[in-house]
Chains A and B, each alone.
Chain A
């Protein structure tokens, strides 16, 4: 076999920074400070099943909302002239250039009990209500932060659809609605899958958003892992095990999505 020398640095990088740490996580998951090989950590992690469930539900809800909001946005942008498309994509990207923390912090000041939104509401004569430190606030934070990652891949796939294929559908008797349901939507599924992955994965594993907008009352997997490494419950073995389980959950979820997608889409060129 011919050795590709250009790949060597990358292979070494991957070995040191991907394979070795992953193996360590794997080994740590099945060991503890006292004994050698053990399933103790998995049993321990099982006690946090409600946290796992909460993370998955919050992540799934955010991903779904991102899809519902993002698809029409991506579709509308793809219909614009190229010049305008670029403007809208720029506007979408600009927030991503500012710090993630800063943006989430800004939402804190908006959602606080005495924050801007409640001030506005009471100005209109309604009574204030509690927004921050609720699951809703966490979902809002996720949607706000990850929405561009849903829009961009869908938009990219939509702009790549051959105009002639759409004309062919019209030619064969499809009105606007049928063109969408029978051609445009099925062809955009690879974009949806890729958007799903790009939103769901960070949503499930985030801890900053839940910390800032959930106020510590909404514990998610990310918080749990952080606690095992940085908190006073220091237990890197359990932390590794939880990470491993999270990774498996994400792999299963994206795997299911890919299967659902490939049933409709037979274009191998368009995987995420």
Chain B
């Protein structure tokens, strides 16, 4: 049985009258790799700053191993942070950057040297001790930041979008490196990111946040396969979210058709949201499908084609390996296993179909999330 290391209880934060976090409750267990995931402005970084001690909440308590630490200043907390832009000390070399925390603890010179070298070896920067941090590449600076934080033997490591500034290839490498460091050190990791793929591939637990509240907490699989509302379904991966009616247990109607599904426990004839992932839809000939429509756009994505299909006005996104042309009539097969039913929420109306979708728009959207 694992014990909880960080507990946030009813945290409330507002800046200049604008609510950033409302009634946030979060329990993090020792040794866990937790990711706070959400778009910019969702409050994930604020949550991290509260745990680090850079910010004190207007209301609510923070517990560290059951002890309330609201009043404990940042420099006395047993947590260390890896900052978004590394925040290395520009006046110190690699060695002194990593030794910074150890020197403050008045460790002996020999102890410091051993620890610094051990940390630098762990992040594969063995020969870099004398280097000026300003001369390092982004990835190397990031490694120094990791070594510097871990040298202090924190109980919890906070990572504030640590890979955001790295290019794709390097990001992938660092992801697996961070994960292996987590497995080696068994320290609790709390990662903040807006990159859903990063969240899914790295964490034990994902906390999806939006507008200062937790939308869903669960394992990456739960979050992806069983999103609790339209926001989570839309934010994590691609989803076709259809307004639907739950006829009875295991039976749902959308797109003018009845479908068998695996969900139950909803009120009979209640309005729900049905989620179907683009990769789950099967493309067949027009007559063989459950529903049929016209292909309105085809985008080559390497592994598959991403096609938009107009089914009676609702634009579906479908990922298929078969080649289709714009204007083709196709049928779509949706199996019970592919359908996931959610309760309607305030997000139901916001997330529509893919009618406004274009890659350009998508990229801009992603970009604005990052900035």
Contact of A267 among B81, B93, B134 (CB under 8 A): B134
Q: Let me know if A170 is at the binding interface, CB within 8 A.
A: yes
Does A9 sit within 8 A of B, measured CB to CB? no
Q: How far is the CA of A206 from the CA of B152 in the complex (A)?
A: 53
Given known contacts A164-B83, A178-B104, A266-B134, is B75 in contact with A170 (CB within 8 Å)?
A: yes
Task: Give Cα A238 to B75, complex, Å.
Answer: 62
Per-residue contact bits, chain A 187-222, to B (CB 8 Å; 1 contact, 0 not): 101000000000000000000000000000000000
A173 to chain B, nearest CB (A): 4
Query: Which residues of A come within 8 Å of B, CB atoms?
Result: 162, 164-165, 167-175, 178, 182-183, 186-187, 189, 264-267
CB pair A168–B75 under 8 Å, yes or no, is no
**Contact A168/B91 with A175-B75, A178-B104 known, Cβ cut-off 8 Å:** no
Question: Which residues does chain B contribute within 8 Å of A167, judged by CB atoms?
Answer: 52, 54, 74, 81, 83, 87
Q: Are A173 and B101 in contact, CB atoms less than 8 angstroms apart?
A: yes
Q: Smallest CB–CB gap between A169 and chain B, Å? A: 7
Inside 8 A of B194's CB, which chain A residues have their CB?
A: none
| 18 pairs, CB–CB < 8 Å, chain A vs chain B | A164-B87, A165-B87, A165-B88, A167-B81, A167-B87, A168-B88, A170-B53, A171-B54, A171-B74, A171-B75, A171-B81, A172-B75, A172-B148, A173-B105, A175-B75, A182-B104, A264-B91, A266-B93
The complex places the Cα of A182 from the Cα of B97 at a distance, in Å, of 11
Interface residues on B, range: 20 to 34
Contacts of B84 in A (CB 8 A): 164
Q: How far is the CB of A44 from chain B (nearest CB, A)?
A: 46
Contacts A168-B81, A170-B75, A172-B80; A162 near B101 (Cβ below 8 A): no
- Docked complex Cα distance between A187 and B79 (Å): 25
Q: Identify the interface centre among A173, A186, A265: most chain B CB within 10 Å of its CB.
A: A173
- Going nearest first, the 8 A-B pairs with the smallest beta carbon separation are A172-B101, A164-B87, A168-B87, A170-B74, A173-B104, A186-B91, A170-B75, A171-B81
Contact (Cβ within 8 A) A187 B91: yes
Q: Mark B74-101, 1 if CB is under 8 A from A, else 0.
A: 1110011101110111110100000011
Q: A172-B100, A172-B104 are in contact. Are A183 and B52 (CB under 8 A)?
A: no
Say whether B132 faces chain A, with CB atoms less than 8 Å apart: yes
For A164, the chain B residues whose CB sits under 8 A away are 83-85, 87
- Contact flag A174-B104 (CB < 8 Å), given A164-B83, A168-B81, A168-B83: yes
Which residues does chain A contribute within 8 Å of B89, judged by CB atoms?
A: 165, 168-169, 183
The chain A residue sitting closest to B79, CB to CB, is A171
Q: How far is the CA of A172 from the CA of B101 in the complex (A)?
A: 5
Given the contacts A167-B54, A182-B100, A187-B90, A173 and B152 also touching, CB distance less than 8 Å = yes
Interface of chain B residues 11 through 54 with chain A (CB within 8 A) = 52-54
| Residues of A contacting B73 in the complex (Cβ-Cβ under 8 angstroms) | 170, 175
Nearest-Cβ distance from residue A269 to partner chain B, whole angstroms: 9
Partner of B90, one of A172, A174, A267: A267
CA A189 to CA B105, docked complex, whole Å: 25
- Complex contacts, A171 vs chain B, CB 8 Å: 52, 54, 74-75, 79-81, 149
Contact of A173 with B75 at beta-carbon distance under 8 Å, contacts A178-B104, A267-B90 already known: yes
Cα distance, A68 to B257, chains bound together (Å): 82
Q: In the complex, what distance in Å separates the CA atom of A187 from the CA atom of B83? A: 19
The smallest beta-carbon distance between B313 and chain A, in angstroms, is 49
A sample of 19 more A-B contacts (CB under 8 A), given A164-B83, A168-B83, A267-B134, is A167-B52, A167-B74, A167-B83, A167-B87, A168-B81, A168-B89, A168-B148, A170-B75, A171-B54, A171-B74, A172-B80, A172-B149, A173-B101, A174-B75, A174-B104, A183-B89, A265-B91, A266-B91, A267-B90
CB pair B87–A266 under 8 Å, yes or no, is: no
Closest residue of B by beta carbon distance from A167: B54
Give the residues in chain A near B81, CB-CB below 8 Å: 167-168, 171
Which residues on the B side are within 8 Å of A162 (C-beta)? 85, 87
Which residues from chain B contact A173 at a C-beta distance below 8 Å?
75-76, 101, 104-105, 152
For residue A162, which residue of chain B has the nearest CB? Answer: B87
Question: Whole-angstrom distance from the CB of A160 to the nearest CB of chain B?
Answer: 11
Bound Cα distance from A42 to B84, whole angstroms: 60
A189 CA / B73 CA spacing, docked (Å):
28
B residues near A170, Cβ cutoff 8 Å: 53-54, 73-75
Q: How far is the CA of A170 from the CA of B152 in the complex (A)?
A: 12
Contacts of B134 in A (CB 8 A): 266-267
Interface flags, B113-152, vs A, CB<8A=1, else 0:
0000000000000000000101000000000000011001
When C-beta atoms are compared, the residue in chain A nearest to B96 turns out to be A182
> In whole Å, how far is A174's beta carbon from the nearest beta carbon of chain B?
6
Expressed in whole angstroms, the Cα–Cα distance for A168 and B98 within the complex equals: 12
Residues of A with C-beta under 8 A to B54: 167, 170-171
Contact assessment for A165 and B90 in the assembled complex, using a CB-CB cutoff below 8 Å: yes
Q: Give the chain A neighbours of B148 by CB distance below 8 A.
A: 168, 172
